[in-house]
Structure 1
């Protein structure tokens, strides 16, 4: 199978990783003295618990190289059989930042992503960010990211700010602008808001992240956002969280309760237009994800370079026993539908043990 490239030529089937991150060290001096930063970090330590907080300090320190070094990134991509990678900044919450600082944080972050990807435009495409806690600013930042920096979309958290969910009317102009610009919107938790109930065993991440994503997608579905904006491109990290595994309950509520029948179509139909990544770890989980959302909505994702990610996305895809057409779609075809034309590059070999 062939796909169109930016220059109008075609390339053979590619493998595309849509979930990978970049560290932006230039942000540290910018926010070092901000009072909101100290409060944010104190909240995260309480939510993580002492053991996980200590572990993360050591682990994240070891990731400084992989998060910023181009050669390490490309080597990891080659080992994984990944041809093109969508790169977004490390998901950190700056929802506490007032507008002037938030504008600077976003500018520095987006420029860093664009500059990193420009080093290998045949292998990397950039995903920006916006200060969603300031909706009018976020609209300008989204347009700038796409039209001025050439980024393919933006990464947001599962809420705009405390008390401002993604279905809040204040964000209407942001969603409209994303649809108009053809910008993909990547929903990725910037931490967990469930507090100290998850302060042991790294439940902050293992339970918290999937819950955050399921909550965000549920609000999007029941709010009718996708009916109002049928061309909106949304994709979610970590397989969409817990929601794809229990869509039947949301559909049941939509069927039997008037307060939940807020849309023309049930939640499962709404979410059949949302993309998710394949980061569900097991062959069974991936088969179920494809069955729940459809083979056209699942993309590869590694969460590079974090320890909750995977280094062998192609092998895991092949192990799921999906039909050849679905494998082709998940491996790269769906990424093209989500992000648009991808760089022209020579596909890397399939990892040892896999089949092409």
Structure 2
């Protein structure tokens, strides 16, 4: 491994069984409602297949030695590890929601500390409670020394989604965006669940369609609301190549020109792609080349979604298969991560204390 140019995977997950046990014990009704919602959203066939997949990949999700061996086999030097999105638990009340985020932050820190030259970590925040989100962010970054936090595309409790929905354009999130910018914290956008619910409950559409659709909706909220204008130093990384958004922004640009209600951002929406970051997980060489062309070679980073079956077991090979220039390939595999402060050397630095 080259200490000055390690290959970095920015999209990898860890499962935290203790977190699930905590929420199931302290809010069994909310946890049960979330489980029921997942069954409705995914349908019985996909739920059964996902259950088998998790059982098969349990060692990769929980065992550090297996993770490091897989990284070696993939040619990945450093992983940025985030909790499985199933741990968002956005149905939790204020006290439990903050507690879950802090427990997740500490658990990820402990996991990363077992291999500090190979791992970085991201924590969680209770997106459903905007008034607590800055506290959780500071806990993740300042107290636990994580590089940032992972968030979903929206937050809505199962019992009353309309009343409690928090979109990324919500004005109540302004302090969060401001503090994340100030701290230089990375905000990793990873959808979990989709408001289309039962319309996607077969053929695994709850993942294959909902994830890229949710990315497009969430990023559009960020762009059109002017969040990226007000916080130009904000570092937002979108999973799954940003979903449907990056290569289909012509219609958004047209709306920005002709519709006054779409003029909440200062520039055409497509111009904001170069203010966002995207992982490379698009499962297609042609789509990766299109993402690079749309966002620019400085905005795309290697991502695998390790170890889930909708990820890539050979993420480096998939980037190399796209036929990028040698300079652009090097940026995706290492250089862009290094520019964001994700490197082997940084993993060994002392955690901040203030």
Please report how far the alpha carbon of residue 160 of structure 1 lies from its aligned counterpart in structure 2 after TM superposition. 3.2
The equivalent of 2:141 in structure 1 is: 146
Separation in 1, partners of 2:97, 2:230? 29
Measured against aligned partners, the alpha-carbon deviations of 1:36-59 in whole angstroms (never above 9, x if no partner) come to: 111111011011011001111221
Q: Check conservation: 1:65, 1:72, Cα contact below 8 A.
A: yes
The equivalent of 1:114 in structure 2 is: 109
The equivalent of 1:87 in structure 2 is: 81
SS in 1 for 2:126: coil
Separation in 2, partners of 1:16, 1:191? 27
Please report how far the alpha carbon of residue 73 of structure 1 lies from its aligned counterpart in structure 2 after TM superposition. 0.4
The equivalent of 2:30 in structure 1 is: 36
The equivalent of 1:166 in structure 2 is: 168
Please report how far the alpha carbon of residue 100 of structure 1 lies from its aligned counterpart in structure 2 after TM superposition. 1.2
Please report how far the alpha carbon of residue 341 of structure 1 lies from its aligned counterpart in structure 2 after TM superposition. 5.1
1:324 aligns with 2:326: yes
Separation in 2, partners of 1:173, 1:101? 21
Q: Map residues 154-193 of structure 1 onto 2, 5 A cutoff.
A: 154-161=149-156, 162=161, 163-193=165-195
The equivalent of 1:250 in structure 2 is: 252
The equivalent of 2:339 in structure 1 is: 337
1:24 aligns with 2:21: no
Q: Check conservation: 2:131, 2:172, Cα contact below 8 A.
A: no
Q: Map residues 174-253 of structure 1 onto 2, 5 A cutoff.
A: 174-253=176-255
Separation in 2, partners of 1:125, 1:36? 31
**What TM-score, normalized by structure 2, do the two folds share?**
0.92
Aligned length: 336
Please report how far the alpha carbon of residue 28 of structure 1 lies from its aligned counterpart in structure 2 after TM superposition. 2.6
Q: Map residues 42-53 of structure 1 onto 2, 5 A cutoff.
A: 42-53=36-47
1:128 aligns with 2:129: no
Please report how far the alpha carbon of residue 22 of structure 1 lies from its aligned counterpart in structure 2 after TM superposition. 0.5
SS in 1 for 2:249: helix
Q: Check conservation: 1:303, 1:309, Cα contact below 8 A.
A: yes
Separation in 2, partners of 1:110, 1:45? 28
SS in 2 for 1:19: strand
Separation in 2, partners of 1:60, 1:312? 19
Please report how far the alpha carbon of residue 337 of structure 1 lies from its aligned counterpart in structure 2 after TM superposition. 2.2
Separation in 1, partners of 2:149, 2:91? 19
Please report how far the alpha carbon of residue 13 of structure 1 lies from its aligned counterpart in structure 2 after TM superposition. 2.2
Separation in 2, partners of 1:174, 1:168? 11
Unaligned runs of 5+ in 2: 347-354
SS in 2 for 1:308: coil
The equivalent of 2:289 in structure 1 is: 287
Measured against aligned partners, the alpha-carbon deviations of 1:233-262 in whole angstroms (never above 9, x if no partner) come to: 001000001001201111111122222122
Q: Map residues 269-280 of structure 1 onto 2, 5 A cutoff.
A: 269-280=271-282
Measured against aligned partners, the alpha-carbon deviations of 1:137-168 in whole angstroms (never above 9, x if no partner) come to: 11011011111111000000001334210100
The equivalent of 1:56 in structure 2 is: 50
* Residue 72 of structure 2, aligned match among 73, 78, 86: 78
Structure 1 vs Structure 2 CA RMSD: 1.5
Q: Check conservation: 1:86, 1:124, Cα contact below 8 A.
A: yes
Separation in 1, partners of 2:15, 2:41? 23
Runs of 4+ in 1 over 6 A off after TM superposition: none
Unaligned runs of 5+ in 1: 3-9, 346-356
Separation in 2, partners of 1:327, 1:200? 37
